[in-house]
Amino acid sequence: MAEQRNPISARNLGGEYLAELGAINTKVLVMEIDLPSLLTEPFKKKFPSRSLTAGIAEQNAVSVSAGLAHEGYQPFLFTIASFISMRSCEQVRTDVCYGGLSVVMIVNAAGYSSGISGATHCGLEDCAIFSSFPNMTILEPSEPWMLPKMIGAAEALKAPVYIRFNSDAFPPIYPEEYSFTIGKAICVSEGDDGAIIASGSRVYEAIKAADLLKAEDGVSVRVIDMHTIKPLDVAAIDKSAKTTGAIVTVEEASVNGGLGSAVAERLAETSYGGKFCRIALPDEFLVLGGLEEVYDYYGLSPEKIAARVLALLGR
């Protein structure tokens, strides 16, 4: 059941954890691109000599981070999704992923959360771009406590990692002490009629949609938190395919090349015979408006998600 919970700042939690990690691992450093972040402030105060900025030069920031990783350091690079996926695409691919270097890229403004600034600041294509790069891991926290857990898991992985999130604050979903494993989806709730496989900001909305379906229509829906876009937890998809007759994916990213596309590929490869649809941001430059207003406009609100599930089930 999706309780009404007050949002908690993921950036504050992530920043506090990063400073703790810096005290444990003296090779950890941060790299900024003239965009100071709450994520870096605690670390910068404790370790100013390990806090770097490349200025307004995203390509240089990625290449310098790759060089530092090659020399045994653990850089955490902070910027926004549209900047790194567009301006630094070649550097991420060739300098970081080609060498399998341990550079952790943490970005906000993924999806539509900076949409009021226009299409240039909407990070919609990043999943499609970076999921095509070998050696890349893509993570997306669904709630505030997940961000520090992802930072710790990324540091331990010693490989290229891209962590995307859409805003500063999330309603908590899980207890603070829950375990997190890269590539292992979380089944938030069970259900037999259908499954909603969601990522990032849309997981909490998927939980609310499932509650609506249960309360108003008697429909039992499984909700899967697919926090790892790559590598995908195919076992969680296969289980949903075997136990439900309809699967819906929900994500705050382009409908092309993200979570929905990856799930669709798996279902096609395993000859899934049920019904399937993707709810994502469409293949167009988005309208401008208030955040919740735009989510509803594009079918990403709990009510619109529930309606799509019902339509898919023929109810």
Looking at per-residue confidence, does 3 or 261 come out higher? 261
| pLDDT value of residue 2 | 52
Output DSSP code: residue 213: I
The bridge status of strand 194-198 relative to strand 228-230 is unpaired
Q: Residues 8-170: name the CATH superfamily.
A: Thiamin diphosphate (ThDP)-binding fold, Pyr/PP domains (3.40.50.970)
Higher-scoring residue by pLDDT: 153, 86 = 153
pLDDT for the residue numbered 168: 67
> How many CB atoms are closer than 10 A to CB 266?
17
Topology of 186-313 in CATH?
Rossmann fold (3.40.50)
Domain with CATH 3.40.50.970 in the chain: 8-170
- In whole angstroms, give the CA distance from residue 146 to residue 181: 10
Residues 27-36 pLDDT 10s: 999 999 887 7
Q: How confident is the model at residue 115 (pLDDT cuts 50, 70, 90)?
A: low
Q: Look at residue 3 in the predicted model and tell me its pLDDT.
A: 55
Domain with CATH 3.40.50.920 in the chain: 186-313
Q: Are 72 and 99 in contact (CB under 8 A)?
A: no
Query: Mean of the per-residue pLDDT values for the chain?
Result: 93
How big is the CA angle at 88 (ends 87 and 94), to the nearest 5 degrees?
145
Give the DSSP H/E element, type plus range, for residue 228: strand 228-230
Q: What's the pLDDT at 298?
A: 93
Report the pLDDT value the prediction gives residue 151, as an integer from 0 to 100.
97
Of residues 152 and 83, the one with the higher pLDDT is 152
Residue with structure tokens 């998927």?
206
Separation of alpha carbons 101 and 91, rounded Å: 12
pLDDT > 70: percent of the chain: 97
Q: What is the pLDDT of residue 4?
A: 58
CA distances from 266 to 85, 248, 262, 276 (A): 25, 13, 6, 12
Q: Residue 56: its pLDDT value, please?
A: 87
Q: In this structure, which amino acid lies at residue 240?
A: S
Q: What is the pLDDT of residue 6?
A: 81
The single-letter code of the amino acid at 294 is V
Report DSSP state, residue 160. -
Within 10 A of 282 (CB to CB), how many other CB atoms are there? 12
The distance of Cα 175 from the centroid of its chain, to the nearest Å, equals: 19
The amino acid at residue 91 is: Q
Query: Tens digits of per-residue pLDDT, 236-291?
Result: 999 999 999 899 999 999 999 999 999 999 999 999 999 999 999 999 888 888 88
Each residue's pLDDT tens digit, 181-224: 999 999 999 999 999 999 999 999 999 999 999 998 899 999 99
Beta bridge partners of 79: 107
Average pLDDT of the segment spanning 137-150: 96
Q: How far from chain centre, in Å, is Cα 64?
A: 25
Provide the total of helices (H) and of strands (E) in the chain, helices listed first.
12, 14
Phi first, then psi, for residue 256 (nearest 5°) are -95, 120
Output the pLDDT for position 143.
Answer: 94
Q: What contacts 304, CB < 8 A, 6 or more positions away?
A: 279, 296
